[in-house]
Structure 1
């Protein structure tokens, strides 16, 4: 194998790698765009079903416990899409829902002898 053939193989390989990176970048951009679109839809649904106080409470929870807030948002969207909500969710209703969804804490008592 001569130097020319080796250089040609290297050039082709570099082109293939660059093409793969461009395709991967395009796929990542598409996934990010889809995720943003999905989050925008969830936000619009929440705007429709939550009263301002409840929305504020959910935003506060999102700052402290983002995973839990995401689960609550998903639950609310499911309730709205299934038609189980009759009106807007008030702050009190959201508090009740949060207490139901929040995992129960185990209380440990240690006694010394």
Structure 2
């Protein structure tokens, strides 16, 4: 029975090594995930600071309300505003009325799809 005990011992050692390797991989993945989350939070904070600088409080309020219903659309608008500010094409803060015009222009670019049944 010593052969059977030897096989069990080898198998047990192999399983322990695999488990240790899996634990290391899981720990590395968790660290990478935390780093990605931290970088994303920092980028969001920077974006928020820039928007505070280039938007009036009313315009920021309008964007935050719109973000609840159309987050992808607002993200596109925010990116466009930040790029305009970095390019220097904005003079002063963007007001609520200017933001409304921008929203109409961007939303007007989308195609309306109508389906009619006969």
Considering the TM-score relative to the shorter chain, is it more than 0.5?
A: yes
Map of 1:1-113 to 2, 5 A cutoff?
2-102=7-107, 103-106=109-112, 108=114
> TM-score, normalised to structure 2's length?
0.86
Structure 1 gap segments, 5+ residues each: none
Shift of 1:20: 0.1
**4+ runs of 1 displaced by more than 6 Å?**
none
Number of equivalenced pairs: 112
Report the structure number with the largest CA radius of gyration: 2
Give the C-alpha shift of residue 84 in structure 1. 1.2
TM-score by length of 1: 0.90
Gaps of 5+ in 2: 1-5
